[in-house]
């Protein structure tokens, strides 16, 4: 079986999390890196808005600033997301992989979400996939996902909510599209422990390996990925300050 990289990069800023995802995609699309499955978390609460969204239509900017919540635009589409207590993942892989070759966007989302659904269900809750890109439990969203295809590579990243309620989400997002649930609500407080996180990571890796028919090798970012991500973080993924937001408001973004 083919070998892909696996990395748990821990807690990082929203800027670096988004920059690493895009850097890995760009370099793989140019044949300068190898596929990677990454798990990560956020060093502070952050709202990310989809690439095509108008931030002022989707995000409660004043509430976010008052609470110290950073606001960043993603390179991927989809809706605005509040990130805090969650497991985030990204998968960067070839567009011609047998599971997704010649499939439409919704089918690709479903293929990548399947191992996540299997992992959640291994703890008891039953999940459903709702096109185009979400995972639900009992009618409430547990995982949102977004995607970008560039050349010969695909980036899909998303969240698995550990602890969040509608009231918190609605405080920072102006147009939440659905009610959410969390693994804490479904399973209990144990999901906030390091033991659960490690066990979930183990099961998730195993399911991705089985489903995509690949072996994972624990390996970090290349020097090229680090250098490119650092540049992207300072240029394209800087948290939006008052000046930046005024410019976006003027431009209607």
Task: Name the one residue in this structure whose structure tokens are 């890196």.
Answer: 33
Task: List the one residue out of 145, 140, 144 whose CA is nearest residue 185.
Answer: 140
User: What is this structure's pTM?
Assistant: 0.94
Instruction: Tell me how many helices (H) and strands (E) the chain has.
Output: 9, 11
- Predicted pLDDT at 119: 98
Residues of the chain with pLDDT under 70: 242-253
- Predicted pLDDT at 250: 67
CATH value at residue 67:
3.30.930.10
DSSP, res 231: H
Q: How far apart are CA 76 and CA 18, in angstroms?
A: 9
- Predicted pLDDT at 252: 60
Q: How far apart are CA 183 and CA 135, in angstroms?
A: 12
Q: Give the tokens for residue 17.
A: 């999390």
Q: Please give the tally of structural domains in the chain.
A: 1
Q: Which residues contact 106 (CB under 8 A, 6 or more apart)?
A: 131, 132, 133
- Predicted pLDDT at 175: 82
Q: How far apart are CA 170 and CA 186, in angstroms?
A: 20
Distance, C-alpha 2 to centroid of its chain = 24
Q: How far apart are CA 78 and CA 92, in angstroms?
A: 17
Q: Which domain holds residue 244?
A: 2-251
Q: Determine the Cα angle at 59 with ends 66 and 71, to 5°.
A: 65
């Amino acid at each position: 079986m083919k070998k892909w990289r696996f990395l748990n990069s821990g807690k990082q800023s929203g800027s670096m999390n988004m920059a690493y995802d895009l850097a890995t995609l760009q370099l793989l699309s140019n044949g300068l890196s190898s596929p990677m499955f990454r798990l990560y978390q956020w060093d502070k609460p952050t709202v990310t808005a989809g690439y095509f969204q108008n931030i002022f239509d989707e995000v409660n900017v004043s509430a976010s600033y008052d609470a110290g919540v950073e606001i960043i635009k993603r390179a991927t589409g989809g809706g605005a997301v509040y990130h805090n207590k969650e497991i985030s993942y990204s998968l960067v892989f070839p567009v011609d992989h047998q599971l997704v070759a010649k499939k439409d966007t919704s089918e690709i989302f479903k293929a990548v979400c399947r191992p996540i659904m299997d992992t959640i269900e291994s703890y008891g809750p039953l999940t459903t996939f709702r096109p185009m890109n979400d995972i639900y439990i009992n009618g409430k969203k547990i995982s949102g996902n977004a995607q970008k295809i560039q050349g010969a590579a695909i980036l899909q990243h998303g969240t698995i909510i550990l602890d969040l309620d509608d009231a918190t989400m609605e405080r920072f997002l102006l147009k939440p599209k659905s009610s959410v649930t969390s693994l804490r609500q479904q399973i209990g407080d144990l999901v906030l422990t390091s033991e659960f996180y490690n066990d979930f990571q183990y099961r998730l890796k195993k399911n991705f390996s089985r489903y995509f028919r690949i072996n994972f090798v624990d390996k970090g970012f290349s020097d090229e990925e680090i250098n490119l991500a650092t540049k992207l973080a300072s240029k394209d993924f800087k948290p939006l300050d008052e000046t930046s937001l005024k410019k976006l408001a003027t431009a209607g973004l």
